[in-house]
Amino acid sequence: MKKDVYVSDPWWKNSVVYQVYPRSFFDFNDDGVGDLKGLWAHASRLAALGIGAVWLSPVYVSPMRDNGYDIANYDAIDPTFGSLDDLDDVIDILHSLGIRLIMDLVVNHTSSDHPWFKESCDPDSPKRDWYIWRSRRSECTPNEGAGPGEWRGDEPNQWRSAFSGPTWTWHEPSQSYYMHLFSPEQPDLNWENPELRQEIYAMMRRWLDRGVDGFRMDVINLISKPENLYEDGPGGLDRAMFGPRFHEYMQEMRREVFDAYPDRTFLTVGETPGATPDQASLTTDPTRRELDMVFQFEHMGLDSADGDKFHPKPLHLPDMKENLARWCRELEGRGWNALYLSNHDQPRPVSRFGNDREYRHQSATAWGAMLHAHKGTPFVYQGEEIGMANFPWESIDQFNDVETINYWRECVELGGQDPTQVWPGIVAMSRDNARTPVQWADLPHGGFGSSATPWLPVNPDYSQVNVSDQASDPNSTWCFYQTMIGLRDSYEILTEGSFELLQAEDEHLWWVRREWHGEILDAVANMSDEPYELALPEGEVLLANYPDAAEHRSTGVLRPWETVWIWR
């Protein structure tokens, strides 16, 4: 039934979480980079959108090799973003607006600038074992001339880093390799070391003591490595996923950190590349006391031609429909899912899956409406709520992202591939598509706040696509998201209802049905540029992306990218 206000137990089941990538959110101090004061200054705008929590990407001290996902001090704020006082101000204003703050926890690895790693480079240091060091394979003859990101040939294994090149970097002074699943500047921590784990838990408690309401845990399912790292054959992140002690560590973390605050309800969401519904159920089953929910990645790989994200192919919609449905079905009663299409690592959904030219508003809202109709906690990434699109890149020199730059170097500069063959995948799939500054207004630099040139270029479409214009237009994408998010506070069916996918094989129509105590909510969308004939079910139109949807429904035709939520 419709309620005045429905608050789920726990709170995060019916909240919508908004991700802020701080360097691209708003630049308050006019240096061309977003900052914490920028978040503070726009907190009321987030409250108006109706979100219940903010996930803040890392703001800790970092050399920014991976824009903060390479932490050099877990207890201090990088001056780029401000100070601890600024973070306290953000916590205070968000809490005053009824919004919780989830911090990004990056503890699979640190920055190579972290003092821990510098101490660990000394074989006699008590912190040597805080990282993963291995001797070379003595039976192999190394290529001593190998440069950064190149293979020597005597690495412990042939795993490829997520950011190209080997997962191992040779440390000459100690005649050893150290492991890094990501860049060489992001050495992996050794979670086998109990002293290291206790140090991480103590750090987490210090943030919770400061008022933080939980954590998004970066690649948390990679922290437990296989016992023997010497192996032949190809590999990469996949060889470290859900390792032998992962669940043990998650249950220990729950006991050592979160259970120390029995009167508070936190949100813990694990980023778990490679997760299946079964592994997600093991990780999020409340009786196992590990994490509350996870980010899966299966649906983010459906438009890859061969498993390489930079080899995209058109999405076959039934694949997406079935994947999201399978996750709903298989987590039902066993765990909880984080619902997302967009974040700081993924290209903009309206460009990737929609039509960002002729049907920008309609396709952006159709994808949003169908995602939010599924069972789980929806995550909205900054700019998604106004339909921000991929950037029109012209040169590899415009990119900042380490993954993109390393991939180009591996393929073109080292691999000799034809740049014209590599370029389209870079343009379509680079993480920098999600990292261009938020477009606040039809002002210089899109109102990003700075007269200074922003660290990444602002999409030139900011005059047509910006928060200020859309927040005052009832038919805008921003207002659609505001309405959609608000419905979650009144309609318990969206959080608790059963889930059913109808017409699963249809390549244009997406129809999700939720049921709850005799209520039915139908979320329907024509996910194409062509009209679609369909007699809609009876009921109240709660949400629509065409202003005349209620009248138009009698025609029995869904217009291009038309979506409606109908409740009875």
Instruction: List interacting residues with ligand TEU (CB under 6 A).
Output: 66, 69, 106, 162, 182, 218-219, 271, 273, 309, 344-345, 403, 431
Q: In 3D, which of 382, 519, 476 has the Cα closest to residue 22?
A: 382
* Nearer CB in complex with ligand TEU: 52/187: 187
Measured distance CA(69)–CA(118) in Å, rounded: 18
Q: Which C-beta is closer to ligand TEU: that of 35 or that of 345? A: 345
Question: Residue 10: exposed, middle, or buried by beta-carbon count in 10 A (0-12, 13-18, 19+)?
Answer: middle
Name the residue type at position 500: E
d(C-alpha 119, C-alpha 110), whole Å? 13
Compare residues 218 and 385 and give the one whose CB is closer to ligand TEU.
218
On whether the CB atoms of residues 137 and 155 are closer than 8 A, the answer is yes
Minimum gap (Å) between residue 299 Cβ and ligand TEU: 12
Find the Cα–Cα–Cα–Cα dihedral 387, 393, 397, 401, rounded to 10°: 30
Q: 217-231 in b/e burial notation, b at 16+ Cβ within 10 A?
A: bbbbbbbbbeeebee
| Residue 303 or 403 having the CB closest to ligand TEU | 403
Residue 309 or 508 with smaller CB distance to ligand TEU = 309
DSSP 93-156: HHHHTT-EEEEEE--SB--TTSHHHHHHTSTTSTTGGGB-EE---TTS---TT--TTS--S--S
462: DSSP letter? G
**Backbone φ, ψ for residue 468 (5° rounding):** -60, -50
CB 111 → ligand TEU: shortest distance, Å? 10
Beta bridge partners of 234: 158
Q: How far is the CB of 99 from ligand TEU (least distance, A)?
A: 22
Q: How far apart are CA 238 and CA 222, in angstroms?
A: 9
Burial of 404 by CB count in 10 Å (0-12 exposed, 13-18 middle, 19+ buried)?
A: buried
Minimum CB distance to ligand TEU, residue 114 (Å): 14
**Residues belonging to the active site:** 218, 271
Whole-number Å distance between alpha carbons of 546 and 362: 8
Q: Which is nearer to ligand TEU, 189 or 521 (CB)?
A: 189
The DSSP-derived string for 487-505 is: HTTTBTHHHH-EEEEESTT
User: Length of the chain in residues, anyone?
Assistant: 568
What are the backbone angles phi and psi of residue 18, rounded to the nearest 5°? -110, 125
Whole-angstrom distance, CA of residue 408 vs CA of residue 415? 9
Residue that has been written with the tokens 């505001």 in this structure: 482
Among residues 377 and 470, whose Cβ is nearest to ligand TEU?
377
As measured in angstroms, the least distance from the Cβ of 242 to ligand TEU is 14
d(CA 562, CA 568): 20
Q: Residue 11 and residue 522: Cα distance in Å, rounded?
A: 24
Cβ proximity to ligand TEU, 296 vs 337, nearer residue? 296
225 or 344: whose CB is closer to ligand TEU?
A: 344
- Closest distance between ligand TEU and the C-beta of residue 431, in Å? 6
CB of 218 to ligand TEU, least distance (A): 5
Nearest to 407 by CA among 420, 396, 393, 392: 396
Question: Which residue number has the CB closest to ligand TEU?
Answer: 69
Q: Report, in Å, the least distance between residue 229 CB and ligand TEU.
A: 19
Report the Cα–Cα distance between both ends of the chain, in Å, rounded.
Answer: 10
Q: Say how far apart CA 510 and CA 516 lie, in whole Å.
A: 20
CB of residue 310 to ligand TEU, shortest distance in Å: 9
Which CB, 66 or 469, lies closer to ligand TEU?
A: 66
> CB of 190: closest distance to ligand TEU in angstroms?
17
